Amino acid sequence: MALLIVMTGGCGGSRREVTVVKLGHALDISHPVHHAMEYLAEKVTEKSGGRMRIDIYPSRQLGSERELLELLQIGSLGIAKTTTMVLEGFSPAYEVFTMPYLFRDREHYFKVLEGEIGQRLLVECQDFWLRGLCYYDSGSRSFYTKDKPIRTPEDLHGLKIRTPESPTALKTVNLLGGSATPIAWGELYSALQQGVVDGAENNPPTLFTSRQFEVCRYYTLDEHISVPDILVISTHIWKTLTPQEQTWLQEAATESYRYQKEIWQQASEEALESVRQAGVEVIIPDKTLFRQKVIPLYEEYMKRPELTGLIKQIQETL
């Protein structure tokens, strides 16, 4: 069950109820986002005085990110960490996070997440029984390849690049010259080994903790998208929590976001250094060449009423 009320022993032999919520995610336990969720669990226990507990199930123990969201929708799981790209299937508004080169820099990115736009999008999927608790920084996604270094978009021509099942991500990779190939994350390492795909794209900590750098020897920091992770709770479970429990959980989630934001940059730098030491060539390309290739995507999306205003609001955020 997603939500459990368990009885625990107390002082003098007395017993008390403890609310236990299950949290599932697909990341390795060495990943900084997992550390943020451990921090969340610690804060919930601390704030509740032990009356509420978060049990974490990492490394796809309960399924892929899409499977975890399906469990949330029927109330069989309490909380899940997913990328906003997976949520595109529930609300088109989340597609803005996958727009390439939308954010001017990291400061702009955080202002959007922490401001009115980001907070509004957290609750965008409540009609689908999903409620966002907080974002987690996942840096910027860049290309890594097995046999051919990517220095310009032209170098992507003829290469099969793994992408998540996000319409915007697929279009971005195709516009940049690659052949976008959706593959489940859990199958990617073997797909790279076997030559099913020639490369993929993700942030430095994920490249390192997934050990895909053992197969891919070139990492091009083109940083084409900055798409956050998001911690989502089932609205079925949220409504069963008392107002006090909701407050404990939301406060802990917000604090875990701030903590994760602090540790992410260091984790990224350490991951880059680690893959370099492992023999991966890290390439710093001219991003202007890549930005020019995705202009048609903006022209297409600015014709969509549900995205036009949102893109403009983000671009105008100072």
Pairing of strands 15-24, 52-57: parallel
| Count of the separate structural domains present in the chain | 2
| Structural domain range at position 289 | 141-226+272-316
Give tens-digit pLDDT for 197-240: 999 999 999 999 999 999 999 999 999 999 999 999 999 999 99
Helix or strand holding residue 280 (H, E): none
If asked whether residues 255 and 240 sit together in one domain, one would say: yes
Confidence of residue 318 (pLDDT cuts 50, 70, 90): confident
pTM score above 0.85: yes
CA distances from 145 to 25, 151, 222, 244 (A): 26, 11, 13, 49
3-state DSSP percent of the chain in helix, strand and coil, to 5? 50, 20, 30
If asked whether residues 292 and 193 sit together in one domain, one would say: yes
Task: Please give the structure tokens belonging to residue 102.
Answer: 């939308």
If asked whether residues 55 and 86 sit together in one domain, one would say: yes
CATH code, domain carrying 299: 3.40.190.170
Give tens-digit pLDDT for 102-123: 999 999 999 999 999 999 999 9
Give tens-digit pLDDT for 184-193: 988 999 999 9
If asked whether residues 309 and 222 sit together in one domain, one would say: yes
Q: Rounded distance, CA 202 to CA 169, Å?
A: 12
pLDDT of residue 19: 96
Give tens-digit pLDDT for 28-66: 999 999 999 999 999 999 999 999 999 999 999 999 999
If asked whether residues 32 and 164 sit together in one domain, one would say: no
If asked whether residues 125 and 196 sit together in one domain, one would say: no
Residue 2 confidence (pLDDT) above 60:
yes
Query: Would you tell me the crossing angle of helices 32-48 and 243-277 to the nearest 10 degrees?
Result: 150
If asked whether residues 22 and 148 sit together in one domain, one would say: no
For residue 52, list its beta bridge partners.
19
If asked whether residues 74 and 195 sit together in one domain, one would say: no
If asked whether residues 50 and 185 sit together in one domain, one would say: no
If asked whether residues 203 and 103 sit together in one domain, one would say: no
* Percent with pLDDT over 70 in the chain: 96
Stretch 291-298: mean pLDDT: 97
If asked whether residues 100 and 114 sit together in one domain, one would say: yes
If asked whether residues 193 and 77 sit together in one domain, one would say: no
Alpha helices in the chain (DSSP H): 32-48, 65-73, 106-114, 116-122, 167-175, 188-193, 204-209, 235-240, 243-277, 287-293, 295-301, 305-316
Task: Please give the structure tokens belonging to residue 81.
Answer: 């960490």
Stretch 245-273: mean pLDDT: 96
